[in-house]
Amino acid sequence: MCFTVLNEAAGNSAAKGRSTDLRLILHWILSAIALIVVSHLVHGFHVTGLIPALIAAVVIGLLNATVGLFVKIVTLPLTILTLGLFLLVVNGLMILLASAVVPGFHVDGIGPAFWGAVILALLGMLIRAIVKDA
Protein backbone atom coordinates (compact mmCIF):
# COMPACT_ATOMS: atom_id res chain seq x y z
CA MET A 1 0.00 0.00 0.00
CA CYS A 2 2.74 2.47 0.96
CA PHE A 3 4.71 1.74 -2.23
CA THR A 4 1.61 2.27 -4.35
CA VAL A 5 1.05 5.70 -2.83
CA LEU A 6 4.72 6.64 -3.36
CA ASN A 7 4.69 5.41 -6.95
CA GLU A 8 1.48 7.31 -7.69
CA ALA A 9 2.94 10.46 -6.14
CA ALA A 10 6.15 10.08 -8.16
CA GLY A 11 4.18 9.48 -11.35
CA ASN A 12 1.98 12.49 -10.68
CA SER A 13 5.05 14.66 -10.08
CA ALA A 14 6.65 13.46 -13.31
CA ALA A 15 3.43 14.18 -15.21
CA LYS A 16 3.31 17.70 -13.75
CA GLY A 17 6.93 18.25 -14.80
CA ARG A 18 6.16 17.20 -18.37
CA SER A 19 3.08 19.41 -18.41
CA THR A 20 5.13 22.38 -17.19
CA ASP A 21 7.82 21.69 -19.79
CA LEU A 22 5.24 21.55 -22.58
CA ARG A 23 3.69 24.82 -21.42
CA LEU A 24 7.12 26.47 -21.38
CA ILE A 25 7.86 25.26 -24.92
CA LEU A 26 4.41 26.36 -26.10
CA HIS A 27 4.90 29.79 -24.52
CA TRP A 28 8.33 30.09 -26.17
CA ILE A 29 7.00 29.19 -29.64
CA LEU A 30 3.99 31.51 -29.29
CA SER A 31 6.28 34.34 -28.15
CA ALA A 32 8.45 33.82 -31.24
CA ILE A 33 5.34 33.87 -33.44
CA ALA A 34 4.27 37.09 -31.69
CA LEU A 35 7.62 38.65 -32.64
CA ILE A 36 7.02 37.67 -36.26
CA VAL A 37 3.51 39.17 -36.12
CA VAL A 38 4.92 42.40 -34.68
CA SER A 39 7.51 42.53 -37.47
CA HIS A 40 4.63 42.58 -39.97
CA LEU A 41 2.72 45.28 -38.06
CA VAL A 42 5.44 47.72 -36.94
CA HIS A 43 7.59 49.54 -39.48
CA GLY A 44 11.23 49.32 -38.37
CA PHE A 45 10.82 46.01 -36.49
CA HIS A 46 12.49 43.22 -38.48
CA VAL A 47 12.62 39.46 -37.89
CA THR A 48 14.09 37.41 -40.75
CA GLY A 49 12.66 34.02 -39.79
CA LEU A 50 11.50 31.58 -37.15
CA ILE A 51 14.96 30.70 -35.79
CA PRO A 52 15.94 34.34 -35.12
CA ALA A 53 12.49 34.85 -33.58
CA LEU A 54 12.99 31.86 -31.26
CA ILE A 55 16.43 33.13 -30.22
CA ALA A 56 15.11 36.68 -29.77
CA ALA A 57 12.24 35.42 -27.59
CA VAL A 58 14.72 33.72 -25.26
CA VAL A 59 17.07 36.73 -25.19
CA ILE A 60 14.24 39.18 -24.51
CA GLY A 61 12.97 36.94 -21.72
CA LEU A 62 16.43 36.71 -20.15
CA LEU A 63 17.00 40.46 -20.46
CA ASN A 64 13.62 41.20 -18.87
CA ALA A 65 14.39 38.82 -16.01
CA THR A 66 17.83 40.32 -15.30
CA VAL A 67 18.63 43.80 -16.61
CA GLY A 68 14.97 44.68 -17.06
CA LEU A 69 14.17 43.80 -13.47
CA PHE A 70 16.96 46.08 -12.21
CA VAL A 71 15.85 48.96 -14.48
CA LYS A 72 12.22 48.51 -13.39
CA ILE A 73 13.21 48.73 -9.73
CA VAL A 74 15.36 51.83 -10.31
CA THR A 75 12.63 53.58 -12.31
CA LEU A 76 9.78 52.62 -9.96
CA PRO A 77 8.97 56.25 -9.01
CA LEU A 78 8.67 57.19 -12.69
CA THR A 79 6.56 54.09 -13.32
CA ILE A 80 4.20 55.07 -10.50
CA LEU A 81 4.04 58.65 -11.76
CA THR A 82 3.08 57.47 -15.27
CA LEU A 83 0.63 54.86 -13.91
CA GLY A 84 2.74 52.02 -15.28
CA LEU A 85 3.11 53.29 -18.83
CA PHE A 86 6.86 53.76 -18.38
CA LEU A 87 7.16 49.96 -18.23
CA LEU A 88 6.47 49.95 -21.97
CA VAL A 89 9.51 52.17 -22.46
CA VAL A 90 11.63 49.80 -20.34
CA ASN A 91 10.35 46.81 -22.33
CA GLY A 92 11.11 48.69 -25.55
CA LEU A 93 14.67 49.27 -24.34
CA MET A 94 15.05 45.53 -23.59
CA ILE A 95 13.80 44.75 -27.12
CA LEU A 96 16.26 47.27 -28.55
CA LEU A 97 19.09 45.71 -26.53
CA ALA A 98 18.10 42.22 -27.71
CA SER A 99 18.13 43.39 -31.32
CA ALA A 100 21.75 44.45 -30.86
CA VAL A 101 22.86 40.90 -30.00
CA VAL A 102 20.54 38.60 -31.98
CA PRO A 103 21.39 38.14 -35.67
CA GLY A 104 18.29 38.24 -37.85
CA PHE A 105 16.41 40.43 -35.39
CA HIS A 106 16.72 44.18 -35.82
CA VAL A 107 14.80 47.17 -34.48
CA ASP A 108 15.51 50.56 -36.08
CA GLY A 109 15.13 52.68 -32.96
CA ILE A 110 13.25 53.40 -29.76
CA GLY A 111 10.02 54.27 -31.61
CA PRO A 112 9.57 50.87 -33.29
CA ALA A 113 10.82 49.20 -30.08
CA PHE A 114 8.16 51.04 -28.04
CA TRP A 115 5.32 50.15 -30.41
CA GLY A 116 6.63 46.61 -30.63
CA ALA A 117 6.53 46.44 -26.82
CA VAL A 118 2.93 47.68 -26.83
CA ILE A 119 1.82 45.04 -29.33
CA LEU A 120 3.89 42.32 -27.63
CA ALA A 121 2.24 43.20 -24.30
CA LEU A 122 -1.18 42.74 -25.87
CA LEU A 123 -0.17 39.51 -27.59
CA GLY A 124 1.47 38.36 -24.34
CA MET A 125 -1.87 38.57 -22.56
CA LEU A 126 -3.38 36.39 -25.29
CA ILE A 127 -0.47 33.93 -25.09
CA ARG A 128 -0.77 33.61 -21.30
CA ALA A 129 -4.50 32.89 -21.68
CA ILE A 130 -3.79 30.20 -24.30
CA VAL A 131 -0.98 28.56 -22.33
CA LYS A 132 -3.00 28.67 -19.10
CA ASP A 133 -5.81 26.71 -20.75
CA ALA A 134 -3.45 24.22 -22.44
Mean pLDDT on 21-31? 90
Q: Reduce the DSSP state of residue 46 to 3 states and report it.
A: strand
User: How far is residue 64's CA from residue 53's CA, in Å, rounded to a whole number?
Assistant: 16
Report the residue count for the chain: 134
pTM: 0.82
Check residue 38 and give its pLDDT.
Answer: 96
Render pLDDT for 29-86 as a digit per residue (tens, 0 to 9). Answer: 999 999 999 999 999 999 999 999 999 999 999 999 999 999 999 999 999 999 999 9
Could you tell me which residues come within 8 angstroms of residue 67 by beta carbon, excluding any fewer than 6 positions away? 94, 97
Residue-wise pLDDT for 71-127, tens only, equals 999 999 999 999 999 999 999 999 999 999 999 999 999 999 999 999 999 999 988
3-state DSSP assignment of residue 134? coil
Distance CA 67, CA 134 (A): 30
pLDDT of residue 2: 37
Instruction: Report CA 57 to chain centroid distance, whole Å.
Output: 6
Instruction: Write down the pLDDT at residue 11.
Output: 53
